[in-house]
Structure formats: structure tokens, C-alpha cells
Structure 1
Amino acid sequence: MYHVLIADDHAVVRSGLAYLINQQPNFEVIDEAADGTSTYLRVEQGDVDILVMDLSMPPGESGLITTQRIHEHFPDVRILILSMHEEQEYINKALHNGAMSYIMKSSSDDELLKALKTVANGEEYVDTNIVITKSDVQQINSNGVDTNLTGYNGLSKREREVFPLVALGYSNKEIAAKLFISTKTVEAHKANIMRKLALNNRADLIRYAIHHHLIDF
């Protein structure tokens, strides 16, 4: 039995996906999440085999970043992106960051189920409506590091969780409650983030987050 986690900011979408997936033999939806931070924390708890996730779940961390973080720390979790974004840049980046599959929300249920079963078998699957060129393949397989994100990539796992919450204006107390840590720990993480990214204040952090597409509003 494959345990599936559904992540989407719309409850009706999560319910529809859960109903569809639970009808399939050997698949069971064990939980749902509505934003990137909650998705990561749920994966961190364990027992998730497949993650079906939207890329845009505002307000919060960009799904591209969530994909990257989960793939880095939980490579056994198979990530299937289900998104309205048809831009090739999003598709290439999602696959580069570790997603095994990319499906359009405009596609049929059959397309999603085919992707789900293919991913369960450990194979990659891209929506048949998406055309991948040689140039796209090079971008997806590129090992190059975005030099503009060198500072961000140097943040610790917990600092990357704190980062979008600070940018979105959550208080230290709210961040502590969301991540199950103390307010003093939040303050320490914030100080480290500002130092590593060479930022002076929250306004600078917000500009950095928006410029690098690290959060969705």
C-alpha cells in the first residue's frame, strides 16, 4: 500500500484528489496539507511514500523550494507536482529540484492516475501535454548552482523553514508555535538568516524572497 500526502491550498481540490486516489487499489491518502511549511513538517513525520503537491500555495514558501527541500532530506519520497503553471521554466525547475512527475491541473483524471502509478513504480512521468526539448533536458539535469542563491542554499534546514514565515510577517511566537520550537530559537535562526544573507532588516529579506521567487503571496 502506497501512502499518499496531498498538498494544495484549496480544500475542495484536496478532497477531490483524496476521493479519486483512495478509489485506486494499493493507494491510500493518509493526510493533507495546505502550505509548503506544513507539507514539509508532515513529510518529516514519516510514512509518506508519494507526495502530490501544488506549486503555488500562498501565503508561504514556493512549491519549487519545498520540492527541493523535501528531495534533499527525504529522497525516498516520490514527488508528483500537480499545477496550473504551464510555463516551461516552472516545469524544468520542478523536475530539476527533484520532482518525479509534473501534471497539469487542466489534464484529465486518467493522466493524473497514470502519473501516480508510474511514480509508484519508481519511474518519472511528465504530462503528455508537455513537450520537453533537448534544451529543457539540459536544464533539468544541470548540476550548476544558482550563484544568486548561494546564500540561501547555505541556510540550515530549520533556517529555511523559518525564512518564509519571517518574510510573510509571522511573529516570533507564531513561528515558534508553527514549527514547535521556542521563541528564543526562532530569534537565533532569524539572526543567522540575516547574517548569512547579508540583510539588514525584514524589508531587505522580503525583497530577497520576492526577487528569487522563494515565497508565494
Structure 2
Amino acid sequence: MTTTRVLIADDQVMVRQGFTVLLNAEPGIEVVGQAVDGIDAVARVAELAPDVVLMDIRMPGVGGIEATRRIMTLPATTSKVLVLTTFDLDEYVYEALRAGASGFLLKDASAAELAHAVRVVAAGEALLAPNITKRLIAEFSRMSDVPRGPVKGRSGNLTERETEVLSLIAQGLSNAEIAQRLVVAEQTVKTHVSRILVKLSLRDRTQAAIHAYETGLVRPGGY
């Protein structure tokens, strides 16, 4: 079994220790380090190259958003960032996703939810669940200064089918659900998703969903 290596970045020692105990008890997950603030998190990522970083958004000095942005610019970084927040519609969550985070998690999540979130993000999937993807990105898209409205034509150089798949990703559908909607094999959907990410120079499904909202391919509150 491949082990998912995790770094926990939070200024509260009890949070770091608690998450460390919970995750180390999970099969296939190992906490390889802790960081006390954003600057420490960037340094530890450069040193340890974890698969997933649990990143608190609100930390003194360099916070989680800026730390995430810096981590994404590290040479050859493959670390995924899962941001931690106290509120499910924290005003900073959307900015963290735009900075490069792959998802978010509430600090009061259960051990099972925490482990699931780490595995989902490590696998390159989007947010924790389709309904969260839809609700969070749609809500914060309303706060963006990007003009809204249905986009005419396609997004970039995507084919018509790829554009359709991108729209469904933004609505929070999983690969299996997209396959069912389009009446195609799930592997076909995976191929479309991979091509979308390459063509648009995006890192993962979360960034693809944000792109769809910000370009107007999908309208907040109405798909």
C-alpha cells in the first residue's frame, strides 16, 4: 500500500497534535511533520515534500493563503494543500482555493472525515463532496470581480464534449456521475478530465471548477 505523507500547519499546538494522532492511526497515512505558521510550512514542504499539507488559513504572520501560494511556486512541487477553517463558508476559503489549495476541511471534522479528505486530495480529486463543491464555489463566485453570464463558444481550445465535462465538474459531479449523465464509460470521463487539465494548464479538478465559474461557463446558483 502506498503511504500518503502529510504535513500539518497550524499555530495551535493542540490542533497539530490532535490531527497527528488521528491521522497516524489511519492505515496508509503518515504525518511526517508539523509547521507552526506559514513561513514554517513553506520551509517544511521544501524539505519534506509531503503529499498533502493540512493548512490552517488564519495564522499569525504569513497566513495559510500566502503560504499556499508560495508552496505552489516551489520548484517541482507536487504537494496538495487542504485548507483548514472553522466555518464552512469562511470568507478566506475561496481565496485559498484560487491560491492553489485543492480543497477545504472544517476543523471539527471527525477522524473518518479527516482521513477521507486527505485521501481524496492526495488522489487529485476536488473538494470533499459534490454538494460542498457546488455550494462553496458558487457562493464565492458571486464575490468575484469576473463578469458573469453564460460563455459563448468553448473554454480555450476544449472540444464540445470537454467543455460539457468541465461544466459538470463545476457542478460537483464525480467521474462516475458524469459518465452516467453522458452515457459513457467512466474511463472515458477520466481521459476527458486529464485533457482538460492539460489544455487549460490547471492542476486538479478544484482549479478546473473555479475556472469554469470565473470564465462564466457555469453561472453561480444556476447551472
TM-score (norm 1): 0.57
Aligned mate of 2:138, from 134, 137, 143: 134
Unaligned runs of 5+ in 1: 143-217
Q: Percent identity?
A: 33
The answer (yes or no) to whether the contact 2:80–2:101 under 8 Å persists in 1 is yes
Q: In the alignment, is the contact (CA less than 8 A) between 1:5 and 1:52 conserved in 2? A: yes
Root-mean-square deviation (Å): 2.4
- Report the secondary structure of 1:115's partner residue: helix
AA aligned opposite 2:67: T
Question: How much has 1:110 moved relative to structure 2?
Answer: 2.5
- Which deviates more, 127-136 or 13-22? 127-136
When residues 89 and 37 of structure 1 are mapped into structure 2, their CA distance, relative to the original with a 3 A threshold, is same
Corresponding residue for 2:69?
A: 68
Letter in 1 for 2:72: H
Instruction: Give the Cα separation in 2 of the matches to 1:90 and 1:10.
Output: 19
The answer to which of 10-19 and 126-135 deviates more is 126-135
Alignment match, 2:126: 124
Q: What aligned pairs does 1:35-50 form with structure 2 within 5 A after superposition?
A: 35-50=37-52
Tell me the CA shift for residue 133 of structure 1: 4.9
For the residues of structure 2 that align with 1:46 and 1:106, how far apart are their CA atoms?
Answer: 27
Q: Mind listing any 5+ residue stretches in structure 2 that lack a counterpart?
A: 147-223
Q: Structure 1's 96 and 75: CA in aligned 2 closer, same or farther, altered over 3 A?
A: farther
Bigger fraction of residues in helix: 1
Instruction: Describe the SS at the equivalent of 2:136.
Output: coil
- Contact persistence 1:67–1:97 (CA under 8 A): yes
User: Partner of 1:29 in structure 2?
Assistant: 31
Contact kept in structure 1, 2:23 and 2:29, CA below 8 Å: yes
CA–CA distance in structure 1, aligned partners of residues 8 and 55 of structure 2: 6
Task: From the superposition, tell whether residues 26 and 115 of structure 1 become closer, same or farther in structure 2 (CA, over 3 Å).
Answer: same
Do the aligned partners of residues 138 and 75 (structure 1) sit closer, same or farther apart at CA in structure 2, a change above 3 Å counting?
Answer: farther
> What letter corresponds to residue 8 of structure 1 in structure 2?
D
The two structures have a TM-score, normalised by structure 2, of 0.56
